[in-house]
């Protein structure tokens, strides 16, 4: 009977060890699942942010004066800060509304010349909270910088 | 009697550990499957939305000159029409929504064709074109109940380019 008890103890230690190994492997696997999931979410965010930013750029490029541009920004963007900074917010499904999971910010730097206004435009999209499992540091998802010249005659660049 | 009890307790404990391993294994496999399914579904939706809108944007930007691009109707559906000239022959590329997909049809100018004759580009649940201004159009693609918009400015139609 003593022999049986000894064998049982040895097998118990083995089982506990295997449970520990299994738990370690499980934690690593869960971490990998988390990384995969949030990498995919970041890829989707990049697509959505890219579409929004490109669309806003297309609209601005089609406008004929800085007055029209500021009208468009006042209508489309929720917040306006001094210094020509406009921000609008999106929820987790990229629907513009009350939730603030993502933000799109446009910074306008206007330079007046004799023949027209040269506007430097920077649009960037950010996630309010950093992505879990992905240690990338920056919360920026997508960013474009460009320039648009609005001649005083009203015609296009 | 004590040794017997100890043996049966250890046996039950070992079996319990095995049971925990089995349950956790099933949970991890199930979790992995769910995550993989969601990633796959998101990837497909993302791909189809991005491809459909990027494809149209690139086609239009490629040909946006001398009134070559028109937004028109084809058998009751919104369509992008791109007029091209090769060896003095006029050709047309039509991009339109038909039967759950975006189709493209390249044909001689003014040749009649059925919507089903075109080549399927990418699946989509819905696709709309909305005219915002003469030189600005809004393209909306819907896939897996998720919609995405893209505004495109036609530089050839803008004032000063005509």
Other beta carbons within 10 Å of A44:
19
C-alpha–C-alpha distance, residues B88 and A41, integer Å: 49
Question: Helices in chain A by DSSP H: which ranges?
Answer: 2-62, 66-76
Residue B78 distance to chain A (closest CA, Å): 20
Q: Which domain holds residue A125?
A: 2-151
Q: Which of A41, A54, A62 is closest, CB to CB, to B133?
A: A62
Q: How far is CA B88 from CA B29, B65, B84, B110, in A?
A: 62, 17, 10, 15
Quick one: angle between helices A2-62 and A66-76, nearest 10? 140
Greater model confidence, A151 or A78: A151
User: What mean pLDDT is reported for chain A?
Assistant: 83
Q: What is the ipTM of this complex?
A: 0.73
Domain ranges of chain B: 41-157
What confidence tens digit (pLDDT) does each residue in A20-34 have? 888 898 889 888 988
| A132 lies in some domain | yes
CA-based torsion, B151, A147, B158, B96: positive or negative: negative
Confidence of residue A6 (pLDDT cuts 50, 70, 90): very low
Task: Give residues with Cβ within 8 angstroms of B25, minimum separation 6.
Answer: A22
What confidence tens digit (pLDDT) does each residue in B2-43 have? 556 666 777 787 788 788 888 988 998 998 899 889 888 888
| A133 lies in some domain | yes
Given a contact cutoff of 8 angstroms between Cβ atoms, the answer to whether A105 and A86 are in contact is yes
- Residue of A32, A62, A90, A93 to mutate, interface with B, max B Cβ within 10 Å: A62
Task: Collect all residues of chain A within an 8 Å Cβ-Cβ radius of residue B17.
Answer: 15-16, 19
Number of domains in chain A: 1
**Chain A contact for B77 (CB, 8 A cutoff):** no
Angle A60-B136-A114 (CA atoms, 0-180°, nearest 5)?
40
| A157 lies in some domain | no
CA-based torsion, B149, B155, B156, B157: positive or negative: positive
Give residue A8's pLDDT.
Answer: 53
Given a contact cutoff of 8 angstroms between Cβ atoms, the answer to whether B95 and B54 are in contact is no
Task: Collect all residues of chain B within an 8 Å Cβ-Cβ radius of residue A55.
Answer: 149-151
Of B68-72, B79-83, B156-160, the one with minimum mean pLDDT is B156-160
């Amino acid at each position: 009977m003593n022999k049986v008890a000894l064998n049982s103890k040895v097998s118990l230690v083995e089982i506990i060890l295997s449970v520990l190994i299994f738990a370690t492997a499980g934690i690593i696997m869960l971490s990998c699942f988390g990384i995969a999931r949030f990498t995919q979410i970041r890829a989707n965010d990049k697509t959505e942010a890219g579409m929004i930013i490109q669309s806003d750029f297309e609209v601005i490029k089609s406008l004929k004066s800085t007055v029209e541009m500021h009208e468009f920004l006042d209508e489309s963007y929720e917040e306006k800060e001094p210094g020509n900074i406009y921000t609008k917010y999106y929820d987790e499904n990229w629907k513009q509304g009350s939730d603030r999971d993502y933000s799109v910010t446009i910074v306008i730097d206007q330079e007046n010349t004799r023949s027209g206004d040269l506007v430097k435009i920077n649009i960037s999209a950010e996630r309010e909270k950093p992505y879990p499992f992905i240690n990338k540091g920056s919360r920026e998802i997508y960013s474009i910088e460009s320039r648009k010249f609005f001649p005083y005659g009203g015609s296009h660049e | 009697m004590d040794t017997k009890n100890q043996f049966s307790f250890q046996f039950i404990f070992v079996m319990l550990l095995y049971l925990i391993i089995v349950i956790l294994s099933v949970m991890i496999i199930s979790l992995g499957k769910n995550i993989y399914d969601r990633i796959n579904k998101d990837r497909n939706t993302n791909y189809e939305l991005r491809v459909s809108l990027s494809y149209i944007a690139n086609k239009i930007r490629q040909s946006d000159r001398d009134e070559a691009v028109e937004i028109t109707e084809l058998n009751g559906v919104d369509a992008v029409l791109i007029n091209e000239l090769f060896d003095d022959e006029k050709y047309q590329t039509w991009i339109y929504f038909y039967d759950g997909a975006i189709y493209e049809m390249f044909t001689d100018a003014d040749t009649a064709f059925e919507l089903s004759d075109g080549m399927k580009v990418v699946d989509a649940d819905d696709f709309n074109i909305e005219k915002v201004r003469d030189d600005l159009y809004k393209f909306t693609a819907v896939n897996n109940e998720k919609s995405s918009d893209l505004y495109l400015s036609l530089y050839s139609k803008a004032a000063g380019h005509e």
